[in-house]
Amino acid sequence: AQRVTQPEKLLSVFKGAPVELKCNYSYSGSPELFWYVQYSRQRLQLLLRHISRESIKGFTADLNKGETSFHLKKPFAQEEDSAMYYCARNPGYSSASKIIFGSGTRLSIRP
């Protein structure tokens, strides 16, 4: 079965410290990987996609096919980064594909 694993339910770091949110996926074909973010009392929104290779709000994520990982990183955490982060994947081969979300990691930035 296709899976997305986020091993940490909660990650707490100090402001200014580096952040790494882990995500591993089960390998199948050529998946597309995403990170979604949900700030307090707001809707879920796309943060970034692996194919875009972009940096959003200082966050980057590199797809490592060898390790089947797509960890989200930021060198210096800010208080406004506190949110729930979900890693997600699409199998990438069909319009009927269903996106699969990880269980989420709550990131808490301490002042």
Partner 1 sequence: DSGVTQTPKHLITATGQRVTLRCSPRSGDLSVYWYQQSLDQGLQFLIQYYNGEERAKGNILERFSAQQFPDLHSELNLSSLELGDSALYFCASSVDWKTQYFGPGTRLLVL
Query: What is the contact surface with partner 1 in residues (CB under 8 A)?
Result: 32, 34, 36, 42-46, 49, 86, 90, 95-104
Residue closer to partner 1 (CB basis): 1 or 14 = 1
Residue closer to partner 1 (CB basis): 13 or 100 = 100
Residue closer to partner 1 (CB basis): 7 or 75 = 7
Owner of token pair 């994947």 = 89
Rounded-to-10 torsion of CA 92, 93, 97, 99: -10
Q: How far is the CB of 99 from partner 1 (least distance, A)?
A: 6
Residue closer to partner 1 (CB basis): 12 or 52 = 52
- What is the distance between the alpha carbons of residues 103 and 7, in angstroms, rounded to a whole number? 8
Q: How far is the CB of 76 from partner 1 (least distance, A)?
A: 27
Rounded-to-10 torsion of CA 76, 100, 98, 59: 0
Q: How far is the CB of 106 from partner 1 (least distance, A)?
A: 11
